[in-house]
Amino acid sequence: MASNAAVRIEHDSLGDLPVPVDAYYGVQTLRAMHNFPISGRGMPAVFIRSHALLKKCCAEVNMELGLLDKRLGDTICKAVQEILEGKLADQFPVDVYQTGSGTSTNMNLNEVIASRANEMLGGRRGDKKPVHPNDHVNMGQSSNDTIPSSIHIACIFEILRILEPALQVLQSSLAEKSRQLWDVIKTGRTHLQDATPIRLGQEFLGYRGQIERSTKRLESALADLSELAIGGTAVGTGINAHPQFAAKVCEKLSAALGYKVRETTNHFQAQSSVDGLVMTSGVLKTIAVSLTKIANDIRWMSCGPRAGFGEIEIPAVQPGSSIMPGKVNPVIAESLLMVCQRVIGNDATITAAGSSGNFELNVAMPVAAAATLESIALLGHGIKNFAIQCVDGIKATSRGPELVSAGLMLATALAPVVGYEAAATIAKEAAASGKTIAEIAAQQTKLSSEELKKLLDPVKMVEPSDTIMPVSG
């Protein structure tokens, strides 16, 4: 227990508590610290900054509406600005696993902002006058509308700052790799079995298409996140908030974010659910699933190099084994796969959190916020790293083209000419004998060597056929 000289006594509706004398936070924050000694993990820094930005916009609007004294409001804004600049970061200790509405974190911000504002006005840390954490910093607000609003703001900020740019980097890398590898023809695979030929560049074109669509899906999530709960206060009715308050706050937030946000058209759903986060997490999970496919394909194509497919070489970024000299592992792809696994797991958390709405309030907002923001950050950093350290350095080997001529599925090109059954017999005989499709077809059909060469040209198999020869017989 700290000595009396190191604490100040603060009072709330539950009684008195000794608060560290040098703390900007107050008694309600301290109660939360006592109540929730769970993970030692506070709310994400980007959420704290987003909540502070919301507080600043609210103070500015309340001044404009004539509800907040200008001297007090300006000082609140100055205190918030310090938080936005990264100062006072150690004053937000409330655990993620706290009250489900995030009230403890909202009051933590209110107390710190009020305390710092009063200090700026010549008072001491912890003073409640002239700036009061509830009456002034929280004016026209409730935890129940500010916390979900700040979650949306933080997600928008991180998507625009980290995730969208990373997707653009990967899309560009895949597009360039598709162009570089376009002339390389290899064996396609379905069910992990040999299929008809495909351009290596076409495979990378498919990967690029997945990322293009990931970006479009993310735009849909952003549109959903742009709808804010601010203005609903306690239960969505807007009690104690000015009728123009929410719209004006959203205008200021839009200017600060560089992205248009708006007051929800239905406050009751905005506070009783986190459906927007559930939808956003579903998009993030879909992106993770797409990336899993891409990363695993690259791992498989590079496996070997002698006992596997060995169709591509990936950059050697570190020794692959502590015991096997010269081994190179697909570690960048593995790193991305673990990111994707975490995001998929976070989606389960967010889904469960989304189902925790009871009547007028969802009571799992902090964990939904932390999980969503973690997913956005992990994907953003993981995607960019994968593009730069893996995709950009991929090279084709001679292995893919070498296997094409021995491929049994070349018989597919014969089917329109000799019929499916005859082509299947040729493929079966080639597999049993170890000979090529061309060799068996020369024995079992009346096709000339020129006709076979034309039919079995892999280049003609990687695009739709412009002419189909009639089936003989």
CA distances from 215 to 298, 300, 332 (A): 21, 26, 22
What average pLDDT does range 334-340 have in this prediction? 98
pLDDT tens for each residue of 166-205:
999 999 999 999 999 999 999 999 999 999 999 999 999 9
The one catalytic residue in 3, 13, 191, 322 is: 191
| pLDDT at 347 > cutoff 90 | yes
Name residue 262's beta-bridge partners: 227
pLDDT tens for each residue of 400-429:
999 998 899 999 999 999 999 999 999 999
Active site residue 321: yes
What average pLDDT does range 280-291 have in this prediction? 98
Active site residue 355: no
pLDDT band at 239 (very low <50, low <70, confident <90, very high): very high
What average pLDDT does range 287-308 have in this prediction? 96
The one catalytic residue in 39, 321, 449, 465 is: 321
What region does 40 belong to: left with phi over 0, alpha with psi -120 to 50, or beta? left
Hey, what's the torsion of the CAs at 385, 386, 387, 392, to 10 degrees?
Answer: 110
pLDDT band at 121 (very low <50, low <70, confident <90, very high): very high
Q: Is the CATH number of domain 405-461 1.10.40.30?
A: yes
Q: Is the CATH number of domain 145-183+198-397 1.20.200.10?
A: yes
Share the mean pLDDT of the chain: 95
| pLDDT at 238 > cutoff 70 | yes
In the structure encoding, which two tokens stand for residue 455, read together?
């039919």
pLDDT tens for each residue of 122-136:
999 999 999 999 999
Predicted local distance difference test score (pLDDT) of residue 2: 44
Domain ranges of the chain: 23-139, 145-183+198-397, 405-461
pTM: 0.94
CATH node for 23-139: 1.10.275.10
pLDDT over 70 for what percent of the chain? 97
